[in-house]
């Protein structure tokens, strides 16, 4: 028998053995893959359960944090403590204005309001309302203990109803209040006003934030709105104007500014963010540059939308565009046809402003508040309007609001 024939069974056996080993390895590998997949599925299930448990723990911790916060708040929320903290910072502002005038004599009448002391980068000032001291002479500031000192206006802004006074008083007599940002205020938050209603110095009234971002106007603004105003249920009586509006920690979040005649329990305050934004200008006697669009308009509503045959029931309808204004230069359009709605005449056919830089504009309050909070003169903004039933984006470079002659 040849050597080749002797090796044949051996090769065959090796081939069979290799095949057996190969099949066995495939089987083992398949088992291993299945085992790995099962392990992965179990781990994924454990991760899901752990994630759910962590989410539950997070929710419980958040709830506990809110309870602790509420407890701490209730523990320190004391009108007595708030008053004790602020009373020496609130002042009575008095002055005289010309009541009657002739070439031969002048008759003066007294004006009175409130104010509060503040330390702006080391300079002690009194903050009050512009309408309290507008046109006044012989201005004085009285502290709670009755001590009275001469004062003078160093800066003012009729568009925010703010005025800054310097006071000729010993520094140790002037105890500044603390101003914090008003951006955290929410509707329903309790607030406290301190002032001198009817000349009754050091009076405190309480209420809640009724709404934010309101718009009001006063005679000194020349018809322009005072934007981004806090509406409060806190009673504001004559003499309260210029006093601080406080949060539950006794910190200033606004300055009370006006009441609406014949209104029941509705007051207004300029937010502290406006004060802090304007102070660097006013304390140096400079004018604060308010953004200006140069339009007159009215809030949209269902009746207007039906008359104009548009499907937009919100927004701000442009009635008139001022000549040579930023709005005119950008191509915004005013009304062209006069109609009567609820007994008043309105020019329709103008652009309806519905968005600025992607932010929804529901009405004139939203428009004024957005511009005041977020823009400055020379800023370029994207205004989205509805024109002839179609949406259109228009880029406008804002101007600076003209100051009234005062």
Report the mean per-residue pLDDT for the chain: 85
* For the chain, percent of residues with pLDDT exceeding 90: 58
Say what the pLDDT of residue 220 is.
Answer: 67
Say what the pLDDT of residue 203 is.
Answer: 83
Q: Which of 89, 114, 131, 351 is catalytic?
A: 131
- Map out the domains of the chain with their CATH numbers: 84-173 (2.40.10.10), 190-276 (2.40.10.10), 291-400 (2.30.42.10)
Banded pLDDT at 11 (limits 50, 70, 90): low
210 annotated active-site:
no
pLDDT tens-digit map of 130-185: 999 998 999 999 998 899 999 999 999 999 999 999 999 999 999 999 999 999 99
Say what the pLDDT of residue 234 is.
Answer: 85
Q: Which of 161, 228, 351, 365 is catalytic?
A: 161
Say what the pLDDT of residue 65 is.
Answer: 67
Q: Give the Cα separation of 242 and 155 in Å (integer).
A: 15
Say what the pLDDT of residue 321 is.
Answer: 96
pLDDT tens-digit map of 338-381: 888 877 888 989 999 999 999 999 999 999 999 999 999 999 99
pLDDT tens-digit map of 293-312: 999 999 999 989 999 999 99
Say what the pLDDT of residue 273 is.
Answer: 96
pLDDT tens-digit map of 194-206: 987 666 667 888 9
**Cβ atoms 125, 166 nearer than 8 A:** yes
Higher-confidence residue: 208 or 44? 208
Banded pLDDT at 406 (limits 50, 70, 90): very low
Q: Which of 241, 272, 325, 368 is catalytic?
A: 241
pLDDT tens-digit map of 67-105: 566 555 555 568 888 999 999 999 999 999 877 666 666
131 annotated active-site:
yes
Say what the pLDDT of residue 90 is.
Answer: 95
Say what the pLDDT of residue 339 is.
Answer: 86
Can you state the percent helix, strand and coil of the chain, rounding each to 5?
35, 35, 30
Say what the pLDDT of residue 21 is.
Answer: 67
Q: Give the Cα separation of 301 and 293 in Å (integer).
A: 22
The stretch 105-127 carries a mean pLDDT of 90
């Amino acid at each position: 028998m040849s050597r080749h024939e002797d090796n044949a069974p051996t090769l065959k056996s090796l081939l069979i053995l290799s095949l057996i080993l190969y099949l066995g390895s495939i089987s083992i590998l398949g088992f291993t893959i299945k085992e790995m997949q099962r392990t992965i599925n179990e781990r994924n299930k454990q991760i899901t359960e752990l994630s759910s448990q962590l989410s539950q723990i997070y929710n419980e911790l958040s709830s506990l944090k809110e309870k602790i916060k509420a407890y701490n708040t209730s523990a320190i929320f004391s009108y007595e403590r708030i008053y004790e903290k602020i009373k020496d910072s609130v002042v009575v502002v008095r002055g005289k204005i010309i009541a009657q005038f002739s070439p031969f004599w002048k008759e003066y009448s007294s004006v009175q309001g409130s104010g509060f002391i503040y330390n702006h980068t080391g300079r002690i000032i009194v903050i009050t309302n512009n309408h309290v001291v507008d046109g006044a002479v012989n201005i004085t500031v009285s502290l709670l203990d009755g001590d009275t000192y001469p004062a003078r206006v160093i800066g003012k802004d009729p568009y925010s109803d703010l005025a800054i006074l310097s006071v000729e008083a010993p520094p140790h007599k002037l105890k500044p209040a603390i101003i914090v940002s008003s951006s955290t205020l929410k509707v329903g938050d309790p607030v406290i006003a301190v002032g001198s209603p009817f000349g009754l110095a050091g009076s405190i009234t309480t209420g809640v934030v009724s709404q934010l971002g309101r718009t009001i106007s006063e005679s000194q603004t020349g018809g322009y709105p005072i934007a981004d105003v806090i509406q409060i249920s806190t009673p504001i009586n004559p003499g309260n104007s210029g006093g601080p509006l406080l949060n539950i920690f006794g910190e200033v979040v606004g300055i009370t500014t006006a009441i609406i005649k014949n209104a029941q329990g509705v007051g207004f305050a300029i937010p502290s963010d406006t004060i802090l934004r304007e102070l660097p200008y006013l304390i140096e006697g400079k004018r604060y540059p308010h953004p200006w669009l140069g339009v007159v308009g009215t809030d949209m509503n269902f009746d207007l939308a039906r008359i104009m045959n548009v499907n937009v029931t919100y927004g701000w309808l442009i009635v008139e565009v001022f000549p040579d204004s930023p709005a005119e230069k950008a191509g915004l359009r005013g009304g062209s046809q006069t109609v009567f709605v609820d007994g008043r005449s309105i020019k329709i056919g103008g652009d309806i402003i519905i968005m600025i830089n992607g932010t929804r504009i529901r009405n004139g309050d939203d428009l004024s508040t957005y511009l005041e909070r977020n823009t400055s003169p020379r800023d370029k903004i994207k205004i989205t309007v509805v024109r002839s039933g179609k949406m259109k984006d228009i880029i406008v470079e804002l101007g600076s609001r003209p100051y009234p002659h005062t």
